[in-house]
């Protein structure tokens, strides 16, 4: 998923942006019709796509879990296949529906026990299995499980509810980052700001989520090896002199994302096969500081041979529990061109040296 901020308004917090997902783009702010169990009630498909021109619809995890059920959804290839919808989908976590079943649910640290409104059967939603269910549904945007407290809750209850939501968020996030999509495309995981009607709790929720994301973001290391500079030159990212110099000397830039902008991280020289080997070696030589649970290999228009070469080089220096291949975002693809390939890994918690060492490699 990729988000681009396109415009802001002076004198207010209003802004316009664009979210790019595997199933299309979403212009924000956006009206999102609710398709609770795989259809938007009382609206024909042609009205939804042509008249309303809905860029995204919402599905409900609670209802979809109970009916038609995860087994059928998996066989259909997720909710997109089940309902024949080719545009983006967002699923809520079912937290609000569980809240609405106050007479038939019980909240515990492990999760939310509830009874089905259909047949009275007993079920458990945990932060982990909700991620699993949303993986099966295949939504482009997955919401984290939260407790939705009553609007008239006193401060003490709202405080405990918020703390529970944040603990659930950490567990759900761990499950999300240790699993992957089932249908060949990536899914985003969104937290929910809680705190009932108390402004101070709402602000605290925002702050805690942002701090957790920032701490995690600083542990993510990612850059891209660009096969040539022609696309960078034609897009105005570099001037003609630099382009000609890189071409004549067979130089290959390595770019990194910094504050939503591509910046030069390093340069390698030689034929692309040698460059691939050197790129992996320099990134993974400090393997003791890298979390071995997951590695992302991001690519744009790469050949199977190039990807296989990278994977073979990775195996020489480090063994990862999972290696996920994913297509590069629109920003990287459009600015860097076909043949661009990058590695993304996570630094171990508490490590403050990996970033410095990697940046000084060049």
Condensed to tens digits (0 to 9), the pLDDT of residues 166-223 reads: 999 999 999 998 898 999 888 999 999 999 999 999 999 999 999 988 888 888 888 8
pTM score: 0.77
Q: What is the reported pLDDT for 260?
A: 63
Mean pLDDT for the chain overall: 90
> By the 8 A CB rule, do 60 and 31 touch?
no
Q: C-alpha distances in angstroms, 234 versus 254, 334, 361?
A: 17, 11, 29
pLDDT at 357: 36
Residue 321: count of CB within 10 angstroms of its CB: 10
Q: What is the mean pLDDT of residues 78-99?
A: 93
How many Cβ atoms sit within 10 Å of the Cβ of residue 6? 10
How far is the C-alpha of 143 from the C-alpha of 169, rounded, in Å?
A: 10
Closest Cα partner for 19 from 331, 337, 324? 331
Q: Which of left, alpha, beta for 105 (phi over 0: left; psi -120 to 50: alpha)?
A: beta
What is the average per-residue pLDDT within 294-305?
92
Predicted confidence at residue 256, as pLDDT, reads: 83
């Amino acid at each position: 998923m990729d988000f681009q901020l396109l415009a802001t308004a002076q004198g207010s917090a209003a802004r316009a942006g664009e979210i790019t997902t595997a199933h299309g783009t979403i212009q924000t702010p956006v009206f999102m019709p609710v398709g609770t169990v795989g259809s938007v009630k009382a609206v024909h498909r042609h009205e939804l796509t042509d008249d309303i021109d809905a860029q995204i619809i919402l599905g409900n995890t609670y209802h979809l879990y109970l009916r038609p059920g995860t087994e059928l959804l998996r066989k259909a290839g997720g909710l997109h296949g089940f309902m024949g919808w080719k545009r983006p989908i967002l699923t809520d976590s079912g937290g609000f529906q569980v809240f609405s079943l106050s007479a038939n649910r019980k909240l515990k640290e492990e999760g939310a026990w509830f009874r089905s409104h259909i047949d009275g059967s007993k079920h458990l939603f945990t932060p982990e299995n909700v991620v699993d269910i949303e993986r099966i549904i295949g939504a482009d945007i997955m919401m984290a499980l939260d407790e939705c407290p009553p609007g008239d809750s006193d401060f003490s209850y709202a405080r405990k509810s918020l703390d529970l939501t944040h603990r659930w968020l950490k567990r759900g996030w761990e499950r999300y980052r240790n699993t992957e999509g089932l249908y060949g495309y990536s899914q985003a995981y969104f937290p929910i700001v809680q705190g009932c009607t108390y402004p101070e709790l709402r602000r605290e929720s925002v702050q805690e989520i942002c701090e957790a994301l920032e701490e995690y973001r600083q542990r993510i290391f990612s850059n891209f090896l660009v096969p040539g500079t022609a696309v960078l030159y034609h897009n105005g990212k570099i001037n003609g002199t630099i382009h000609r110099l890189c071409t004549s000397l067979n130089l290959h830039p390595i770019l990194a994302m910094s504050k939503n902008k591509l910046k030069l991280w390093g340069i390698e020289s030689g034929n692309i096969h040698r460059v691939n080997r050197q790129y992996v070696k320099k990134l993974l030589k400090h393997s003791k500081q890298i979390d071995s649970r997951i590695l992302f290999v991001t690519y744009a228009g790469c050949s199977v041979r190039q990807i296989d070469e990278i994977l073979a080089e990775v195996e020489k220096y480090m063994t990862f529990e999972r290696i996920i291949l994913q297509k590069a975002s629109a920003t990287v693809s459009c600015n860097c061109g076909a043949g661009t390939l990058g590695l993304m890994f996570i630094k171990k918690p508490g490590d403050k040296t990996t970033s410095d060492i990697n940046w000084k490699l060049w």
